[in-house]
Amino acid sequence: MKVGDRHYRTIWPTSDGRAIEIIDQRWLPHEFRVVPLSTVDEVATAIRDMWVRGAPLIGVTAAYGVAIAMLGDPSDAALDSTWDYLHETRPTAINLRWALDDMRNLLRPLPPAERADAAFARAAEIAEEDVELNRSIGRHGLTIIRQIAASKPEGEPVRILTHCNAGWLATVDYGTATAPIYLALEEGIPVHVYVDETRPRNQGAQLTAWEMVGQEVPHTLVVDNAGGHLMQHGLIDMVIVGTDRTTRNGDVCNKIGTYLKALAARDNGVPFYVALPSPTIDWTVGDGVAEIPIEERSSDEVSLVWGRTADGKVMQVRISPDATEAANPAFDVTPARLVTGLITERGIAEASETGLRGLFPR
């Protein structure tokens, strides 16, 4: 998307085709940093420490990580050890396993000498596919925004609450939850986005808000705990979020706090939509609450926050006593019964196995 007067994606191959460059999202919104990743260790660190994050982007980054590994050692053993090494970086987003499986299934039958080139080509394809999937999600999600806009007085904005960052920064481009918003704006439909700050890492305040400014989307930052109040007072027309893994029956795993927004939405009759590309569906899982592994991240993410001082220094500060331990489950699972619809690249499905299989037959 636009960054100033230039178009960027979140990830791209270097001109020599032997490494990648990424936007290091840890420094946004205060600094825009592009960094190279030229070894598997660097790719693993970038995923684990969230230089890049967001289920689809994690998958694409891992795909390029396999390609970089094949440059050094294209053996079967290296292919398997790279799969294991990158798979361990983050446990919840299913796109990581999906992309690693896709790459290994492609490369295994090939002669080792052909694997690096084939891997870079496939990783680039997965990146392009992500952009197209998101454009399709945008087109289908736009129908919902159009319907809501038609029910409101002329010119009144469709008020959309979103949680965490499921924007272009969570994907290669366009985003999932933000794709319908960007298309609505292009079509001239007035929208106003309420951005959950999304503790503990503040991906909403730091990433989604930065996206909204960059794409000139009217928006308001709110604390995570304000969503229910806004819905109670009729100030939200719809909620749209992304997901890191959605089960075959429509249970939605997403950033911690999503479940609470879904409960508030249900209690106030606000439609709650989830935008997802099909690689985010885990067909092997039925009960999301029981079966999806929830990443437990460092307590420092709760106890320390990043910010910019008045004189422009970007730094972390502690907000709780040194002696206080913090729990930090990074995701939660919203049961399908609280989901109004799943916006996929093939259309909007009921949050059920029947609904998903209607769009994605076996």
Ligand X SMILES: CSC[C@H]1O[C@H](OP(=O)(O)O)[C@H](O)[C@@H]1O
Using CB under 6 A, list all residues that contact ligand X.
53-56, 164-166, 170-171, 176, 203, 241-242, 244, 254-255, 330
Q: In the bound complex, what is the minimum distance in angstroms from residue 25's beta carbon to ligand X? A: 9
Q: In the bound complex, what is the minimum distance in angstroms from residue 214's beta carbon to ligand X? A: 17
The tokens for 230 are 């806004």
Q: In the bound complex, what is the minimum distance in angstroms from residue 244's beta carbon to ligand X? A: 5
Q: In the bound complex, what is the minimum distance in angstroms from residue 353's beta carbon to ligand X? A: 22
Which of 91/228 has CB closer to ligand X?
A: 91
Binding site feature residues for substrate: 53-55, 90, 203, 254-255
331 and 168 in contact (C-beta within 8 Å)? no
Q: In the bound complex, what is the minimum distance in angstroms from residue 259's beta carbon to ligand X? A: 12
Which of 234/293 has CB closer to ligand X?
A: 293
Catalytic-labelled residue, pool 244, 251, 282, 332 = 244
Residues ≥6 apart with Cβ < 8 Å to 1: 7, 8, 168, 173, 174, 182, 211, 214, 215
Residues recorded for the chain: 362
Which of 55/281 has CB closer to ligand X?
A: 55
Which of 43/164 has CB closer to ligand X?
A: 164
Which of 144/149 has CB closer to ligand X?
A: 144
What is the spatial order of strands in the sheet that 34-37 belongs to? 11-13, 20-23, 34-37
241 and 166 in contact (C-beta within 8 Å)? yes
Which of 120/331 has CB closer to ligand X?
A: 331
Chain centroid to CA 86: how far?
A: 18
| Rounded to 5°, angle at Cα 62 from 137 and 162 | 35
244 belongs to the catalytic site: yes
The tokens for 233 are 């007072």
One-letter amino acid of 231: M
Q: In the bound complex, what is the minimum distance in angstroms from residue 110's beta carbon to ligand X? A: 30
User: Any idea which residues carry the catalytic annotation?
Assistant: 244
